[in-house]
Chain A
Amino acid sequence: MTTEKGSEFSCPLPLSDYPEIVMAHGGGGALTQRLFEEIFQPAFSNPFLNARHDGAVVELSGNRLAFTTDSYVVRPHTFPGGDIGRLAVSGTVNDLLMCGAQPMFISLGLIIEEGFPVASLRTVIDSIRAEAKDANVSVITGDTKVVDKGKGDGIFINTSGIGVLDANTDIAPQRVRPGDAVILSGDIGRHGVAVMAAREMLDLGESIESDVASLGGPVRALFEGSISIHCLRDPTRGGLATALVEIADSAGVEISIDETAIPVSERVRGVCEILGLDPLYVANEGRFVAFVPEPQADEAIDILRRDPLSATACIIGTVKESEPGIVTCTTSIGGTRVIDMLSGEQLPRIC
């Protein structure tokens, strides 16, 4: 029985160099992708999973639903601009929004370490309640487990979410077309830098706040403005670069971006410059990329700029067909380079 089960779940392409899990397997970059391709996908292969969207879109009794799940292990639990509770709601809500769904319900799974102060738990739960209220979702089921002291890191949270889609909404990487404009909803790199600064207790003078936010406002505004959205993606772990590479790969298109068009705040740039980080790979928790037909791009920008969460939205590039699966970038001095997925990880446990 054991043998049969073992062979059923066997991995056709062994992870040659890492017989054990290393931190980068959870970094959202190339190693995470390999885990998916070599272990998860072979085991569970189905059209929903294989679409590799932020969530799965399914049809049940004539209703279209989006379903997603995410775990939150950020350290420290509180950082400038947010905390693990707020993140656990907005991250899952945003994944549903990126499928084109209206988020409705979320579950709340807590893994708490023995000795975690109840007062801290209350703070986390308060934060979850406030964010769920803002995002207009209800927490409708949950679970609590406690692990021995030293076997956890205070608190880990898992949330799953369900949202509903209109019959005619079709938002997926596969819908991206040559000629689409690539729109970014705001400046990048805040979340990763804010968490790292809090964790390493870097004194940056005036602190950089995470961009963590539920993105229902700006996304709904695009729908209500009748923008024909082809694809949405929130550039979380692995940053903007990884999000774009995933979409170029799934859609079989070239995405060409202009480095100088990508907004990065002076403070984030400064920290990244000193620490040798590339803002393109730093996590965001309150930004999204939208692929829309070029003729509607300016109108989409106008709509987005009316919402404070996307007040600095801008066009950062365009979709081409010349080099399928590749993201290219025009550099500040007029050269070009290829943007690839991150192989290791720049910053562990940022979400």
Chain B
Amino acid sequence: MKFVDEYRNERDARRLADAIERLVTHSWTVMEICGGQTHAIVKFGIDQLLPPQINLVHGPGCPVCVTPIGMIDKAIAIALKPDVILASFGDMARVPGSESNLLTAKAHGADLRIVYSPLEALEIARKNPSKEVVFFAVGFETTAPATAMAVHQARREGLINFSMLVSHVLVPAAVEAILSSPSNRVQGFLAAGHVCTVTGYRDYHTIADKYGVPIVVTGFEPTDILQGLFMCARQLEEGRAEVENQYIRAVREEGNTAAQDLLREVFTTVNRQWRGIGDIPGSGWGLSAAYRPFDAEDRFGAAEEPPESDNECISGRVLQGNAKPSECPAFGQRCKPEHPLGAPMVSSEGACAAYYRHRSRTATASRSTE
């Protein structure tokens, strides 16, 4: 298939892996931020091509994984109210809240609709004027423009039966949280290419300077990731800490300015709790004053947020790159995708699910603790 196969062929992948091998003289720990990249790495076996000096750790870039328990409980409570249709991305439906998940709510009679786009939720609202339609808006800067477009249109059309439960999160704040942690061991980053198609990468220059880490904006196909790793390793070997763009076919430094204008109109920066990590100041988006009438938390009353209690799940350490999924004692034993203890085992972008799905459970443990 055009625009796919050329990035997934063995010859180019081997050539890049060989180039990395020839380049590295030290061991380097590199974090890919985005869960989509984590899955590509595990699904295609990219890490198996790399020299042992490159240690890949997996970042917090899975929106489903970092959505706090309290938000999921709120979504469930709203979904169970009479005459409410809750529209959500499919992955969110299986993530455990404090007691159950949205799929269980559906089995209890909640009207849950799985959508691919927030605009589908808007369409549901138009077709069901006697129902309250709530879109569960999660995601990073990549999905935020679609969320913004949905609520922007709702406001323009005066669609009063539409609202959103917003839990959007922002990548740069998370990167800073990881780098400023005393236990940080990440020496270089692959920034999430699709986030940067929207935001551009100007914000990353200050982070690279402040913390002395190279950041390479990277795509999602195997040869993208290998090239991103090559560029990152080359900076590390040369003692540079700059922002570079591997994903030039999609990302411009200034990003998508039309989308940014809309985002500024619809959202305002808020503090956000990240599941497994905790509160990160300025790490999320909430609806701006003009759009507050569409805030589902206001409309339905915010439930009390329960304390974070993720049992034995070590997702916080996994999401900050301090542990690999297979180092968790519950991994593959008490924690599996069909009964997850934590969100990274649920989402198609979660690191634990990636390891579980694409790696032999026994082999993973031995490989990853090398």
Contact = CB atoms under 8 A, between A and B. Distances in A.
Contacts of B261: none
Interface string B334-352: 0011110000000010000
A334 B338 contact: no
A31 B107 CA distance: 15
Interface in B37-92: 42-49, 90
Interface stretch (B6-14, B148-156, B209-217, B265-273): B6-14
B49 A16 contact: no
A24 interface: yes
Given A20-B107, A273-B1, A273-B4, A343 B337 contact: yes
A323 B361 CA distance: 11
Contacts of A204: none
Given A266-B1, A273-B4, A332-B10, A22 B45 contact: no
Interface in B1-48: 1, 4-5, 8-10, 13-14, 42-48
B357 A333 contact: no
A344 interface: yes
A73 B220 CA distance: 37
A175 interface: no
Contacts of B325: none
Interface in B296-327: none
Contacts of A275: 116
A332 B9 contact: yes
A338 B42 CA distance: 10
A335 interface: yes
A18 B359 contact: no
A300 to B, nearest CB: 28
A32 to B, nearest CB: 10
B1 A343 contact: no
A209 interface: no
B357 A340 contact: yes
Nearest to A278: B43
A337 B10 contact: no
A276 B348 contact: yes
Contact of B338 (A30, A323, A333, A339): A30
* Residue from A21, A30, A266, A335 with most neighbouring chain B CB atoms (10 Å): A335
A334 B356 contact: no
A338 B358 contact: yes
A336 B104 contact: no
Interface of B: 1, 4-5, 8-10, 13-14, 42-49, 90, 94, 96, 103-104, 106-108, 116, 222-223, 336-339, 348, 356-360
Q: For the complex of A and B, list the 3 residue pairs with the smallest distance between their C-beta atoms, beginning with the closest.
A: A335-B45, A343-B337, A333-B13
29 contacts: A17-B338, A18-B103, A19-B104, A20-B108, A24-B103, A30-B336, A30-B337, A30-B338, A31-B338, A266-B1, A275-B116, A323-B360, A326-B360, A332-B8, A333-B8, A333-B14, A333-B44, A333-B45, A333-B223, A334-B13, A335-B44, A335-B46, A337-B42, A337-B359, A338-B357, A338-B360, A340-B357, A343-B336, A343-B338
